[in-house]
Amino acid sequence: MKTSQMFFPTQREIPRDAELISHQMLVRGGFVKSVAAGVYSYLPLGWRVHEKISQIVRDEVKLFGAQELHMPVLVPRELLDESGRSSVPVLFALKDKNQRDFFLGFTHEEVVTDIVRSTVNSWKQMPLYLYQIQTKLRDEPRPRGGLIRGREFTMFDGYSFDSNEGDLDAIYRENYRAYERIFTRCGLKYLAVEADPGAIGGSENHEFMILTESGEDTVLRCDSCGYAANAERAEIPPSDVSDRPDLLVQDLVSTPGAHTVEEVCAFLKVSPQQLIKTIICTASDGTVVAGLVRGDRELNLPKFSRAVGIGALELADPATVVRVTNAPVGFAGPVELGVSVYVDLELKAGGNFVVGANAADAHLLNVTPCHNFEVTGWADIRTAVAGDSCPRCAGGILGDARGIEVGHIFKLGTKYSKDMNALFQNDKGEKYPVIMGCYGLGVSRTMAAAIEAHNDANGIAWPISIAPFEVAIIIANMKDEAQTTAAKDLYSSLKQAGVDALLEDRDERPGVKFKDIDLIGIPIQVVVGKALAEGAVEIGIRGSAEGRQRVAVETAASYVRNLVQSEKDKLQAS
| Chosen residue from 334, 442, 459, 523 binding ligand ATP by CB under 6 A | 442
Asked if 151 interacts with Mg ion (CB under 5 A), we say no
Give the shortest CB-445-to-ligand ATP separation in angstroms: 4
Asked if 292 interacts with ligand ATP (CB under 6 A), we say no
Contacts of 210 (CB under 8 A, 6+ apart): 183, 188, 189, 190, 403, 404, 406, 446, 449, 450, 452, 453
Q: Which is nearer to ligand ATP, 33 or 124 (CB)?
A: 33
For residue 194, which amino acid is it?
E
Give the shortest CB-17-to-ligand ATP separation in angstroms: 17
For residue 429, which amino acid is it?
G
Q: Which is nearer to ligand ATP, 23 or 408 (CB)?
A: 408
| Chosen residue from 108, 185, 445, 513 binding ligand ATP by CB under 6 A | 445
Do 85 and 469 contact (CB within 8 A), yes or no?
A: no
Under rule CB under 5 A, which residues in 407-446 are in contact with Mg ion? 408
Residue 347, phi-psi category: left (phi > 0), alpha (psi -120 to 50), beta (remainder): alpha
Helices (H), 91-151: 109-117
Task: Please give the torsion angle defined by the CA atoms of residues 549, 553, 555 and 559, in that order, rounded to the nearest 10 degrees.
Answer: 40
Contact stretch for ligand ATP (CB under 6 A) within 304-312, 346-354, 393-401, 436-444: 436-444
**Percent helix, strand and coil across the chain, each to the nearest 5:** 30, 30, 40
Under rule CB under 6 A, which residues in 53-112 are in contact with ligand ATP? 107
- Residue 449: phi and psi, rounded to 5, are -65, -35
What residue 138 binds from Mg ion, ligand ATP, none (CB within 5 to 8 A, per partner kind)? ligand ATP
Give the shortest CB-428-to-ligand ATP separation in angstroms: 36
Q: Which is nearer to ligand ATP, 209 or 292 (CB)?
A: 209
Q: Which is nearer to ligand ATP, 163 or 212 (CB)?
A: 212
What residue 334 binds from Mg ion, ligand ATP, none (CB within 5 to 8 A, per partner kind)? none
Rounded Cα distance between 291 and 280, Å, is: 7
Give the shortest CB-230-to-ligand ATP separation in angstroms: 9
Q: Which is nearer to ligand ATP, 441 or 490 (CB)?
A: 441
Under rule CB under 6 A, which residues in 190-209 are in contact with ligand ATP? 198
Contact stretch for Mg ion (CB under 5 A) within 42-50, 154-162, 401-409, 471-479: 401-409
Rounded Cα distance between 491 and 27, Å, is: 28
Beta bridge partners of 137: 152
Angle between helix 44-62 and helix 443-453 axes, rounded to 10 deg: 110
Do 279 and 293 contact (CB within 8 A), yes or no?
A: yes
Q: Which is nearer to Mg ion, 138 or 408 (CB)?
A: 408
Contact stretch for Mg ion (CB under 5 A) within 52-60, 184-192, 405-413, 453-461: 405-413
Q: Which is nearer to ligand ATP, 130 or 275 (CB)?
A: 130
What residue 149 binds from ligand ATP, Mg ion, none (CB within 5 to 8 A, per partner kind)? ligand ATP
| Chosen residue from 277, 408, 415, 454 binding ligand ATP by CB under 6 A | 408
Asked if 407 interacts with ligand ATP (CB under 6 A), we say yes
DSSP sequence for 390-448: PSSSTT-BEEEEEEEEEEEEEEEETHHHHHTT-EEE-TTS-EEEPEEEEEEEEHHHHHH
Helices (H), 94-243: 109-117, 165-185
Q: Which is nearer to ligand ATP, 353 or 439 (CB)?
A: 439
What residue 383 binds from Mg ion, ligand ATP, none (CB within 5 to 8 A, per partner kind)? none
Do 148 and 404 contact (CB within 8 A), yes or no?
A: yes
Helix (H, G, I), strand (E, B) or coil at 350: coil
Do 229 and 194 contact (CB within 8 A), yes or no?
A: yes
Give the shortest CB-404-to-ligand ATP separation in angstroms: 8
Contact stretch for Mg ion (CB under 5 A) within 261-269, 384-392, 406-414, 473-481: 406-414
Asked if 183 interacts with ligand ATP (CB under 6 A), we say no
Residue 298, phi-psi category: left (phi > 0), alpha (psi -120 to 50), beta (remainder): beta
Give the shortest CB-29-to-ligand ATP separation in angstroms: 19
Instruction: Return the residue nearest ligand ATP (CB atom).
Output: 442
Beta bridge partners of 343: 292, 378
Name the pairing type of β-strands 398-413 and 435-442: antiparallel
Rounded Cα distance between 63 and 171, Å, is: 12
What residue 206 binds from Mg ion, ligand ATP, none (CB within 5 to 8 A, per partner kind)? none
| Chosen residue from 444, 455, 483, 525 binding ligand ATP by CB under 6 A | 444
Contacts of 322 (CB under 8 A, 6+ apart): 328, 329
What residue 155 binds from ligand ATP, Mg ion, none (CB within 5 to 8 A, per partner kind)? ligand ATP
Contacts of 568 (CB under 8 A, 6+ apart): 464, 465
Do 276 and 293 contact (CB within 8 A), yes or no?
A: yes
Give the shortest CB-329-to-Mg ion separation in angstroms: 31
Q: Which is nearer to ligand ATP, 126 or 147 (CB)?
A: 147
DSSP type of residue 237:
P
Asked if 440 interacts with ligand ATP (CB under 6 A), we say yes
CA dist list (Å): 522 to 49, 51, 52, 294, 540 = 11, 16, 14, 52, 11
Give the shortest CB-138-to-Mg ion separation in angstroms: 11
CA dist list (Å): 42 to 57, 291, 351, 501 = 19, 46, 59, 20
Give the shortest CB-132-to-ligand ATP separation in angstroms: 13
Under rule CB under 6 A, which residues in 117-156 are in contact with ligand ATP? 138, 140, 149-150, 153, 155
Contact stretch for ligand ATP (CB under 6 A) within 172-180, 282-290, 402-410, 468-476: 402-410
Give residues in contact with ligand ATP (CB under 6 A).
107, 138, 140, 149-150, 153, 155, 198, 405-408, 440, 442, 444-445
| Residue ranges that bind Mg ion, judged by CB under 5 A | 408
